[in-house]
Amino acid sequence: MDGIEIKNGKIRVSLNGQRWTVAGNATKTHINQVSRLRTQLKNRLNYGEYFDDLLLEIFGKGKEKQSETLGYFAQHFFDIVAPEHIADSTLRGYLSAYNTHWLGFDNKPIHKLKLTELQRHLAKKSLTKKTQKNVISVLSMIIDCAVPQTIPINILTPWRVKRSKSDEEQKPDPYSANERDQLLFQLKNQDYASWRYFNHGFGSGMRTGELLGSEYQHYEKPFFIVNQEVVRRKLEHYTKTTKSGDEGRRLILAKFTMNMLDDTGTGFIHTNTQGNMCRDADYFMKHWKLAHEATGIRQRKKLYPWRSTYITMLVDGGMKPVDVAAFSGNSIEMIQKHYYKRIENLDRDVLLVKEVHKALGMPGGKVRVVK
């Protein structure tokens, strides 16, 4: 029925951008009754009557408040607004941030939220300035859904969080080819399973969860299909940038990784001692640290630095941003911002000349004259 949704055994009604839950179970008789009431409400609204007054009169005392809570607008944001323009992985992060930090305000009418109250609540948590900014941003997008129909302005607009230098986003800090090779050599002699894991990482630029979730069936020499990952120790059939059921992204593996995977097996590529999927990378990271200590190579602090090494080498090799972004599973804007800045003021012109000359080619061989 138009504007009627059944969720968790309850009837949810939507009209004119407003949504609310009706008391009682979703029986056939009740659904038909609610549908008639919604039609009545819609018709009277068309004659210019006030929404909240009508909602109270037709659906009963307190129903107008249900359509004004923060939780209502959060549900509206996550179900209706966000999926249209926000990637699944980002949306999952937003939902986690809301449930972790703002769920306590779920039943509070949105017009009764106070900026000082929200600020005090967040100040009690030990969060970095960057995390605070992200958490506030999620709440602000939710409150925006209520403007101007329910509240005149977004009360979070004046809330600014200054980020300290320690919170600033780190620039790529890749390993050199020589450092990479030294680490892989040490790992191969130190622990074979860890060598396979980081060989795969350096040769594909895959994230930790993607490496853990990779299977031999995803290897199509020289390509590797990335369409699942391990999240919180559970295998999920999506990645940070793909939805469940998507074909996934296709990247080209380094030759040294193909040589390793040519000894094709079945099932998961990286397994635990029982031959099952690894649910975390703790064991591998332990040997990663030991390999740095043994070689004296500086261990990078950035998250999965083998990934930034893969991306940097593609960029330095002259690959176009659109291809680097496709292989790495990032936006073109992010790749240009963080990686192409490294060379744009150095040898960028030289690289462009080489690319143009290579693309245009040189005349050669016999020329057939067309009469």
Question: For residue 347, what is the domain's CATH number?
Answer: 1.10.443.10
Whether residues 185 and 95 share a domain: the answer is no
Whether residues 149 and 192 share a domain: the answer is no
8-state DSSP, 163 = P
> Of 165, 170, 168, nearest to 308 (Cα)?
170
User: Would you tell me the crossing angle of helices 192-204 and 177-190 to the nearest 10 degrees?
Assistant: 160
Whether residues 192 and 335 share a domain: the answer is yes
170 falls in which pLDDT band (50, 70, 90)?
low
Contacts of residue 88, defined as CB under 8 A and 6 or more positions apart, other chains included, come to 238, 242, 243
Whether residues 190 and 254 share a domain: the answer is yes
Whether residues 314 and 201 share a domain: the answer is yes
Whether residues 190 and 284 share a domain: the answer is yes
Contacts of residue 213, defined as CB under 8 A and 6 or more positions apart, other chains included, come to 228, 229, 230, 235, 236, 268, 277
Whether residues 194 and 152 share a domain: the answer is no
Average pLDDT over residues 110-123: 91
Whether residues 86 and 223 share a domain: the answer is no
Q: CATH code at 89?
A: 1.10.150
Write the pLDDT tens digit of every residue in 256-313: 999 999 866 789 999 998 889 999 999 999 999 999 999 999 999 888 899 999 999 9
What percent of the residues of the chain are helix, what percent strand, and what percent coil, each to the nearest 5? 55, 10, 35
Whether residues 216 and 331 share a domain: the answer is yes
Of 53-57, 68-72, 150-154, 365-369, minimum mean pLDDT range: 365-369
Adjacent-strand bridge partners of 229: 236
Domain presence at residue 300: yes
Domain presence at residue 200: yes
Cβ atoms of 223 and 214 within 8 Å: the answer is no
Whether residues 46 and 127 share a domain: the answer is no
* pTM strictly above 0.85: no
Whether residues 107 and 48 share a domain: the answer is no
Whether residues 190 and 299 share a domain: the answer is yes
- pLDDT at residue 362, as a whole number: 60
Split into its structural domains, the chain has a count of: 3
Give the separation between CA 296 and CA 63, rounded to whole angstroms: 66
Domain presence at residue 166: no
Domain of 40?
A: 4-64
